Amino acid sequence: MYGSPSYARLAPLLALVVIGIVLPPLVPQYFLSLGNTLMMYAILAVGLDLLLGWAGQFAFAHIAFYGVGVYGTVLLQSKLGIPFIPGVLIAAALAGLIAFLIAVAAIRLHSVYLALATFAFAESAQWVFNSWEGLTGGADGLRIAPPSVLGWTTGTDARAFPVIAIILALVIGATMYLTRSRLGRSLCAVRDSEHAAAVSGIDVFRTRIWAFVISGTYAGVAGGTFALFQSFVNPEAFGFSQIVLVLSMVVVGGLGTLPGPLIGAVLLGLLPEIMRTAMRGLFVWQELVYGLILILSMMFMPRGIWGLIAARGGRSK
């Protein structure tokens, strides 16, 4: 579980990149758009899981960092002419920096108090996106010009798909290394017992701050990928429903695991589309279905879908 991941574990990432390159000419734009959305949610969910599942910090500011990533990438390109790669890196670093400031301010808070403080930050960030009209376009929204990635203009879903697949592969790869590193073990130790971690020589405050910063940076990267395949953004995209959606992806998929949030992102990202097509009559009940899935998942799969799969796999061995 610790040390560098094996080549066998990294091989699926190569497969993801190959699929990202091969698939676009073969399927309609709708499916590619859906794929881009799912991959973006996967990055967002993996980042939130680092904070929530691995470090055990019950925080809700993730969607605000995602917003910083979206607006940062778009504005750096449109206002300063900064290309996508440096743009997304700067935006992600900015999201990480803001996460650091939030972490420092909220470091002494735990459980519901931390949740409330970070939720308040997410709400105020949305207010800023809505009110800072000169920069963000406010409620009118902002049109996004197609970014160029090393000369590859990503104006369409087909052109954005391979780029996002590569970014997702890099994010998953980085997470594999991170969770197997000393910091990854520290995150788990802090989650399981802060006192025990402290006694073991782990700097709990620093570890918690790192969790916020890395998670915020991931959200910033996810925001950057949004700019690759969407042409319009407005503050509605960073509201409470989005917080709940990403949280559900992590919880339903399986907290504190890497496959969990990926499964959750795919499942909950696909659910509205499945309901739109295969279960049209149920589509109007989408929110209720979300709620039911969340409740049933908590009741019968407290460790999420991946937890269930892993447990069954363990029993069969």
Partner 1 sequence: MLATLIRTLLLGAGAALALGALPVRAADPGVTDTEIVIGLHAPLSGPLAAFGIDPLNAAKMWYEEVNKKGGIHGRKIRLIVEDDKCNPNEAVLVVKRLATVHNVFMINGGSCTPAVIATQEFISREKIPFAMLNAAGDNGVFPPIRYMFGAFGGTQRADGAVLVEFAFNALKARRMAFIVHDDEYGNAKWATSKAVAERLGAEAVAVERISPRVTDVTTPMLNIRAARPDVIISAAYPQPAVLIAQKYGEFKMTAIPMVQAVQGIPVPDIFQKNVGNDAVFSNFYYGSPLNDMFNGPRQQKWVQMYKQYYPDRTPGAWMAFGLPPAMAVTRALEKAGRNLTREAFVEAMETLDFESEVFAGKIQFAKGRRDGMRSAIVIRFDGKKHTVMPGAYAWNGRDGM
Residues that bind partner 1 (CB under 8 A): 28-31, 33-34, 37, 130-131, 133, 138-141, 143, 155-157, 230-232, 234, 236-237, 272-273, 276, 283-287
| C-alpha to C-alpha distance for 159 and 208, rounded to whole angstroms | 38
Structure tokens at 113: 């108090």
Which region, left, alpha or beta, applies to residue 117 given φ > 0 means left and ψ of -120 to 50 means alpha?
A: alpha
Query: Which residue, 235 or 256, is less far from partner 1 as judged by CB?
Result: 235
Write down the least CB distance from residue 171 to partner 1, Å: 21
CB of 210 to partner 1, least distance (A): 31
- For residue 317, the 8-state DSSP code is -
Min separation Cβ 176 and partner 1, Å = 29
Residue among 130 and 181 whose Cβ is closer to partner 1: 130
Pick between residue 62 and residue 208 the one whose CB is nearest to partner 1.
Answer: 62
Give 41 or 65: the residue with its C-beta nearer to partner 1. 41
Q: What CA–CA distance (Å, rounded) separates 273 from 286? A: 10
152 - beta bridge partners? 149
From the CB of 232, what's the least distance to partner 1, in Å?
4
Q: CB-wise, 143 or 312, nearer to partner 1?
A: 143
- In whole angstroms, give the CA distance from residue 52 to residue 249: 12
Q: Please tell me the distance from the alpha carbon of residue 207 to that of residue 181, in angstroms, as a whole number.
A: 13
Closest approach, Cβ 106 to partner 1, in A, equals: 25
Residue in 168, 169, 140, 290 with CA at minimum distance from that of residue 229: 168
